[in-house]
Amino acid sequence: NTYQMPQSNITLRAVWSLNKPVLSGTEGPIAFYYDGSARTATVTGTHTLTDAVITYRWYKLNPGESAIPSVGFSIDRYFESRCQLLEETTGTYDFVNIGDSGTYYCVVTATHGENVSQTAREFVVTVNKALPTKELTQTEFTYAPNTTFDLNDYVTGQGGIETFKILDKNGLAFDFGETTAILSNITEAGGTFTLQMTVHETETYAALTKTYTITLNKAKQNLYVSASPSTPTMQQTVTLTVSGNVGNLSYEKVNGNATVQGNQIIPDGAGTVHYSVTAGATDLYEEATQTYSITFRKAEGNLAPDYQKPAEYTICVGHTSKDIALPQGWSWNGTHTFDQVINGVFSATF
C-alpha cells in the first residue's frame, strides 16, 4: 500500500536581535583627593552596524541601593527605579566634589530601526577629602623681655582651623593659651618643648595632627664696659663699670703687666693689659664673656726713684760702666769704658 502525505506550505520568518554595543574608554574604580579639579570619565559605544544610533545616559545609584547587576531587559527601566538620572547627552561625566562619591552607571543604547540593545559600565567613585597642607613654619624662638609669640602667625598652607596643645614643657616655664595659641610670661628658657598641632576637618579637608619639637632659646647678654680713667698712667688704678648684664659679673686678666682684683685693674708698669668680663647665665639669659684691653701710659713729670744716691762711684782703669751696679730700675745710657784716670759725669735712665 502506498500512503501519500498531505502537503502544506510552511513560512519561516527570521527573528533577530541587535547585539549590544561595545564599550571603550575610562574604566573604574575612580578615586582621588579633592582639589577642586574635575576628573572626567569617558565612555564610547560602537556597534558593528555602522548606521546604528548610539545614545548615553548617566545614572547615580541612590543611597541604600545595592549595586545593579547586568540585566537582559530594558536597562533604562531597571535603573530609573533605583538611580538618579544625571545626564543623557554625552558619554562623558565629571567628578569634582566630595559629594560626588558613589556608584555611577553609564548606560549605552544602540538603536537600529525598531531594534534596541543596551549595556552599561559601572564606576565606583571615591572623592576623598583633601589632605591639609598646613605647616608650622618656625620651630625656634628666642626669649626677649615682654615678648609674646602667637603661633598662628607662623602657620601657612591650606586646611581647616588649627589648634595647639603643649604635650611636654620639658622643664621650661611659660604660659600658653590653647584657645589663643599665644606663648607668654616666659620665666625659664634654654631648651625644647613638645607641641601638638591639630588641623580640624572641614567639608573638603580631612583632619590632620602633627607633633613638633620647639626650641626656646635664652636671650644673649650684650656687655658694655667703661673704664675710669679711660687713659690711665701706670700709677693709676682703673675701675671698670659694666652695663647690659643680667647675670653675676666676674673679671679675669688675660695677659699684660697688671693685677685684676674684682672690677679694678692695678698696673705693675706701663703697657697694654687684656682682660675678660663674664656675665653668668640665668634662667633666661646665656652666659656672656667678652675681652677688652686698656693701655697704661708711662707717668708724666718728675718721677725720680726714691733712693739714697751715693756721693760718687769709684772704679779702676780698664773697667766699663757695666761693672757699676745701679739702683733697681736704672740703666746706663750706653756703655762707658774707663781707660784713664778721670773725674766725670755719666747719665743713666730709670
At 199-209, the pLDDT tens digits run: 999 999 999 99
Q: Is 79 exposed, middle or buried (0-12, 13-18, 19+ CB in 10 A)?
A: buried
Which residue is associated with the grid cell 502537503? 7
With a cut of 80, say whether residue 284 has pLDDT above it: yes
Q: Which residue type sits at 218?
A: K
At 161-195, the pLDDT tens digits run: 999 999 999 999 999 999 999 999 999 999 999 99
Alpha-carbon gap, residue 254 to 256, rounded angstroms: 7
Contact in structure between 82 and 62 (CB atoms under 8 Å):
yes
Q: Which residue type sits at 115?
A: N
Give me the sign of the Cα torsion angle 68, 72, 73, 76. positive
Grid cell, residue 249, equals 659679673
At 7-46, the pLDDT tens digits run: 777 777 666 788 999 999 999 899 999 999 999 999 999 9
Q: Which residues contact 63 (CB under 8 A, 6 or more apart)?
A: none
At 38-76, the pLDDT tens digits run: 999 999 999 999 999 999 999 999 988 887 765 544 576
DSSP assignment letter at 78:
H
Pairing of strands 173-177, 182-188: antiparallel
Contact in structure between 150 and 162 (CB atoms under 8 Å):
no
With a cut of 90, say whether residue 326 has pLDDT above it: no
